[in-house]
Amino acid sequence: MKIEFLDDISGGGRFPHADPNQLVRLYDFDKLQATLLRDTIQKHILESKKAIDLTTLNFIQSVNCNLTLQISDIDKGITTLVNNNFVCDLTINNYQEMILLIEPFCNIEINGYQWLYDLDTAIDFLFSPGGSW
């Protein structure tokens, strides 16, 4: 599994038919890695209430960014800290929803994709085995 920040995915960027937002994407994975991510979110975020830097997980390779998932009282989504270091602030309810969105990728090999939250933010969060949407 790889994690990557894509800047300027509008017509001037790499994906000409995308919205003019930025995104962090988790891609290039199989159902085993999807299961590991789901279980990590369940254990660290929901059960232990601890933040987790995804790039510290041995099954995730950083292409150009770091992303820390943490619980927040309000849903902010992904925001930039500095130098492609990001934090994702979501409520427990949205992390529970994220687990449900990841679940189908744990059961069978899927070529589709899933947006891991539905918030009006500048940075979207894409979960896609093939990397596209």
Domain ranges for the chain, please list them: 2-8+22-128
pLDDT of residue 11: 54
How far apart CA 57 and CA 69 sit, in angstroms, is: 12
CA torsion 87-24-3-101 (nearest 10°) is: 90
Phi, psi of 126 (to 5 degrees): -105, 135
Asked if 128 and 112 touch (Cβ cutoff 8 Å), the reply is yes
pLDDT of residue 10: 61
**Which tokens in the block code for residue 6?**
């894509």
pLDDT in tens, 30-49: 999 999 999 999 999 999 99
Choose between 55 and 12: higher pLDDT. 55
- pTM value? 0.89
**CATH number of the domain located at residue range(s) 2-8+22-128 in this protein:** 3.30.1360
Element (H, E) at 74: none
**Which tokens in the block code for residue 72?**
């927040």
